[in-house]
Amino acid sequence: MFLKKAVLALQALIAASVLAGAAFAGPVVNSGHIESELVAQEAGIAPGGTVYVALRQRIQEHWHTYWRNPGDAGEATKITWTLPDGWSAGDMVWPTPQKARLGPLLDYAYEGEVLIPVPITAAANAQAGTTVSLTADVFYLVCEQVCVPEEAKLTLLLPVVAGAPSADPKWGKVVGEVLAKAPKPAGLKAMFKLDGETLKLAITGGPLKGADLAGAYFFPYSPKVLEHSAEQAIERGPEGLTLSVKAGYDFVGGGTPPTELAGVISTKAGAWEVTATAGDPPAAAMGLGAPPTETAPATGVAGGLVGALLFAFVGGLILNLMPCVFPVLSMKAASLAGHAHDAGKVRVQGLAFLVGVVATFLVLAGLLLAVRAGGSAVGWGFQLQSPVVIAGLALLMLLVALNMSGVFEIGTSVQGVGTGASSKGGVTGAFFTGALAVVVAAPCTAPFMAGALGFALTQPTLVALSVFLALALGFAAPFVLVAFVPGVLKRLPRPGAWMDVLKKGLAFPMYGAALWLVWVFAQQSGSLSLAHLLGAGVLAAFAAWLYGLAQARRAAGKPTLVSILVALVALGLAITVATFGALAAQPPPAAATSTSAEMPSGPGLASEVWSPEKVAELQAAGRPVLVDFTAAWCVTCQVNEKIALSGSKVAEAFKAQDAVYLKADWTNRDPVIAKALADFGRVGVPLYVVYPKGGGQPVILPQLLTEGMVIEAIEKAGT
């Protein structure tokens, strides 16, 4: 009887946990010196999605476990997963270890509490509404004066959800912080050289410039390249540092000297992954006459902020020329034409547009910073990864286009602009034009903009928001400048019938924007949800027509109440149907969900699905790789694909170099792709990365591509 009650209580607890939107961990396992359990960053997982599940261990005081390279002695923790069919586990994300000395030995260890996240990817055909069981067999060595091998069998019940899962209420932030602090690439350049029995490792660039490097330490991935217990002498240079350490077995003990030296450089400012190649240390990593462990003045921070502000402003200017912003140019053009010969109203509209741009940029930036602080892996453009937002924008673009086509009017008509109409509608319209331009255009990153945003998201909140403010000012600058230079607008003819023709003609880019958003929605949500959105579009158009009919009846002195009420009902139905379709969205089954599928991308050129494991596999095979981080909602990405990645010459170059084209599709939220972007200091797409044939540092291509750029990069990577 007691056993039956216990089982029922456990079932009730599991059901309550799933209904509350949280993963349900199995019992904490005490193996003697360690308590272990599995915890999840998010409260569920979408079909085909990825969630980080962390091994959490509370280690008995004075005891320790080991990093991926245990050092002079020990053994790394190992996890063997038992997952449902079609599910997979990625590599363990190792936090930066501590140095643990035991007599003459130095180990790389964890003490107290440690979380080791692992990305778990669901099968594309996982059924929403079900709960899956994840099982991990964990093996570890725990040591004090003596070492004891221990193990634990751990379980985690994880709900499969239809939409994007929310953060786990208890562990989401904790796992997110571990992932944020975990070592990752940061664009560092590194060289090593053997000088007798001393290995000199020079590391420059990225976050090392101007950082506090006192006590810096290099944790190698290989256990035989360094004498772990030997001191690492630090020589500070203007761009980084040089470490001098006693060489290990692979260099001086009869082993095979490696061609690369990979590991983690740990400093007070943070820890980053680095891969060094053989060569003479650069002067920028050598000392300037100061004692080896003395830290040079941190002059790089202020310079970094000034540079980021400048890059953000220039990036904002260039963003106006990106394909992402084209759909909204028609609204700007119509607004300018309407007030061309009224300097006062033009200036007011220019300032209103500026306020709309700045406010929306800062709101989106604040949301982005808040979500990332909560542990979720999102990037710039996160708003367009939501089917609900896409559906709403599609309907809004359709209504704007119908308004410009004259189906109905909001506020003042274009013809009445110069004849004493109130300016209130124009100011409000200019504000929301700026807001809409940011929402639609900002997800694509322009040249200069990517590096500035990458810098911003590593800084305190006020510094980060100042960078986004500079980006907003750059984006709004051309429109505001034109508004305050009357000579430019005076070249337009006087107000007249031509303005109505222009307005209706400029409606068609807005129709195009609505169709584009519908296409993006289809990529995210599947055919059933697409049918809902198309039906909602018909209802919204019907509501707009009825409202326009009511306006005409009002002008003729006829009653309008019935028409307006029916229009409101139709609009309400349109919003309800679109929202229901978006919330019920299921990603369509496609080749993009298969790790082995090939997708045609042009004449003779096919893409394979990106994953970190796929890149490593291809590099190990000695093949050059181009990774295309893209999204359906990124217009710049689609333009680049058609112009620079679909031609027969590009296909021939790939074939000649035995190169592989991988696509990382970020149309829907994917924390693995978000992490990869962050590893390259990016928070948005497009991003194009070329991995050379013989290994070494990857090369980032410009965000606006040409066939020539791609062919040249692949040919260099293949030599």
Q: What is the pLDDT of residue 453?
A: 67
* 522: in domain: no
Q: What angle do CA 715, 717, 719 make, to 5 degrees?
A: 70
Residue 707 confidence class, pLDDT cut points 50, 70, 90: confident
The C-alpha R_g of the chain, in whole angstroms, comes to: 29
Q: 44-53, 262-271, 273-282, 512-521: which range is least confident on average?
A: 512-521
Handedness of CA 224, 227, 232, 238 (dihedral sign): negative
> Whole-angstrom Cα distance, residue 395 to residue 401?
10
Q: What is the pLDDT of residue 28?
A: 92
Whether residue 374 is predicted with pLDDT greater than 70 in this model: the reply is no
Cβ atoms within 10 Å, residue 484 = 12
Contact indicator for 690, 626 with CB cutoff of 8 Å: yes
Contact indicator for 414, 403 with CB cutoff of 8 Å: no
With residue 363 as reference, give the H or E element that holds it: helix 343-373
Q: Please state the rounded mean pLDDT for residues 217-221.
A: 95
Single-letter amino acid, residue 586: Q
Residue 451 confidence class, pLDDT cut points 50, 70, 90: low
For the chain, give the percent of residues with pLDDT over 70. 77
Of 38-52, 404-418, 584-598, give the range with the top mean pLDDT.
38-52
Per the listing, tokens 């039956």 go with 4
Domain count, the chain: 4
Of 1-10, 16-25, 402-411, give the range with the top mean pLDDT.
402-411
> Whole-angstrom Cα distance, residue 207 to residue 594?
36
Judge if 317 and 282 occupy the same domain. Answer: no
Q: What is the pLDDT of residue 298?
A: 31
Judge if 210 and 349 occupy the same domain. Answer: no
Provide CB contacts within 8 A for 130, sequence distance 6+.
159, 160
Q: Please state the rounded mean pLDDT for residues 112-138.
A: 95
Q: Please state the rounded mean pLDDT for residues 77-83.
A: 96
* 199: in domain: yes
548-561 pLDDT per residue, tens = 888 888 888 888 88
CATH number of the CATH domain containing 640:
3.40.30.10
pLDDT averaged over every residue in the chain: 79
Retrieve residue 376's tokens.
């979720």
Of 28-42, 350-364, 398-412, give the range with the top mean pLDDT.
28-42
Q: Please state the rounded mean pLDDT for residues 566-574.
A: 87
Contact indicator for 106, 217 with CB cutoff of 8 Å: no
Q: Where are the beta strands (DSSP E) in 73-188?
A: 78-82, 88-89, 98-102, 105-110, 113-121, 131-143, 147-159, 184-185
Q: What is the pLDDT of residue 479?
A: 80
Provide CB contacts within 8 A for 610, sequence distance 6+.
627, 628, 629, 662, 663, 664, 673
Contact indicator for 89, 164 with CB cutoff of 8 Å: no
Helices 507-525 and 326-338 cross at an angle (nearest 10°) of: 150
* 255: in domain: yes
157-205 pLDDT per residue, tens = 999 999 889 999 999 999 999 999 999 988 899 999 998 888 999 998 8
Whether residue 607 is predicted with pLDDT greater than 60 in this model: the reply is yes
Task: Specify the 3-state DSSP secondary structure of 570.
Answer: helix
Residue 230 confidence class, pLDDT cut points 50, 70, 90: confident
Q: What angle do CA 420, 423, 429 make, to 5 degrees?
A: 135
Q: Please state the rounded mean pLDDT for residues 22-39.
A: 86
Q: Please state the rounded mean pLDDT for residues 459-468.
A: 78
Q: Where are the beta strands (DSSP E) in 490-621?
A: 598-602, 605-609
Q: 266-280, 589-603, 698-712: which range is least confident on average?
A: 589-603
Q: 23-37, 226-240, 286-300, 344-358: which range is least confident on average?
A: 286-300
> Whole-angstrom Cα distance, residue 24 to residue 44?
10
Residue 122 confidence class, pLDDT cut points 50, 70, 90: very high
Per the listing, tokens 């997708």 go with 599
* 398: in domain: no
> Whole-angstrom Cα distance, residue 510 to residue 516?
10
Provide CB contacts within 8 A for 587, sequence distance 6+.
46, 47, 48, 124, 524, 525, 526, 593, 668
With residue 57 as reference, give the H or E element that holds it: strand 50-59
Task: Specify the 3-state DSSP secondary structure of 49.
Answer: coil
CATH number of the CATH domain containing 98:
2.60.40.1250
* 97: in domain: yes
Whether residue 426 is predicted with pLDDT greater than 70 in this model: the reply is no
CATH number of the CATH domain containing 265:
2.60.40
* 321: in domain: yes
Q: What is the pLDDT of residue 697?
A: 78
Domain-terminating residue out of 488, 516, 544: 516
Whether residue 421 is predicted with pLDDT greater than 50 in this model: the reply is no
Judge if 378 and 491 occupy the same domain. Answer: yes
Handedness of CA 627, 629, 635, 636 (dihedral sign): negative
End-to-end CA distance of the chain: 73
Judge if 488 and 599 occupy the same domain. Answer: no
Helices 326-338 and 343-373 cross at an angle (nearest 10°) of: 150
Judge if 9 and 109 occupy the same domain. Answer: yes
Judge if 260 and 344 occupy the same domain. Answer: no
Q: 127-131, 372-376, 546-550: which range is least confident on average?
A: 372-376
Q: 75-89, 360-374, 629-643, 645-659: which range is least confident on average?
A: 360-374
Q: What is the pLDDT of residue 264?
A: 96
Per the listing, tokens 């994840």 go with 134
Comparing C-alpha atoms, which of 56, 60, 47 is closest to residue 26?
56
Comparing C-alpha atoms, which of 554, 553, 663 is closest to residue 610?
663
Contact indicator for 125, 84 with CB cutoff of 8 Å: no
Residue 491 confidence class, pLDDT cut points 50, 70, 90: low
Count how many residues are written for the chain. Answer: 719
Domain-terminating residue out of 244, 268, 298: 298
Whether residue 398 is predicted with pLDDT greater than 50 in this model: the reply is yes
51-65 pLDDT per residue, tens = 999 999 999 998 999
Q: What is the pLDDT of residue 256?
A: 84
pTM value > 0.85: no
Q: What is the pLDDT of residue 64?
A: 94
Q: What is the pLDDT of residue 424?
A: 40
> Whole-angstrom Cα distance, residue 681 to residue 685?
12
* 570: in domain: no
Retrieve residue 420's tokens.
């004493």
Whether residue 601 is predicted with pLDDT greater than 80 in this model: the reply is no
Residue 91 has φ and ψ, to the nearest 5°, of -75, 150
Judge if 352 and 455 occupy the same domain. Answer: yes
Q: Please state the rounded mean pLDDT for residues 617-624.
A: 87
User: What are the residues facing 29 on neighbouring strands?
Assistant: 36
575-600 pLDDT per residue, tens = 888 888 777 665 554 443 333 344 44
Whether residue 653 is predicted with pLDDT greater than 80 in this model: the reply is yes
With residue 415 as reference, give the H or E element that holds it: none
With residue 402 as reference, give the H or E element that holds it: helix 387-404
* Beta-strand relationship, 660-665 and 699-700: unpaired
Judge if 200 and 146 occupy the same domain. Answer: no
Domain span at residue 233? 185-298
Domain-terminating residue out of 516, 541, 563: 516
> Whole-angstrom Cα distance, residue 82 to residue 607?
30
Judge if 142 and 162 occupy the same domain. Answer: yes
Helix count and strand count (H, E) for the chain: 20, 26
Q: What is the pLDDT of residue 381?
A: 58
Contact indicator for 420, 406 with CB cutoff of 8 Å: no
Per the listing, tokens 């509501």 go with 543
Judge if 145 and 215 occupy the same domain. Answer: no
Provide CB contacts within 8 A for 306, sequence distance 6+.
none
Q: Cα 311 from chain centroid?
A: 19
* Beta-strand relationship, 660-665 and 240-246: unpaired
* 467: in domain: yes
Judge if 255 and 278 occupy the same domain. Answer: yes
What one-character-per-residue DSSP string does 608-673 give?
Answer: EE--HHHHHHHHHTT--EEEEEE-TT-HHHHHHHHHHSSSHHHHHHHHHTT-EEEEEE-SS--HHH
Q: Which residue has the higher pLDDT, 645 or 589?
A: 645
Instruction: Let me know if 659 is exposed, middle or buried by CB neighbors in 10 A (0-12, 13-18, 19+).
Output: buried
| Upstream peptide bond of 686 is cis (omega within 30 degrees of 0) | yes
Q: Please state the rounded mean pLDDT for residues 97-122.
A: 91
Judge if 491 and 634 occupy the same domain. Answer: no
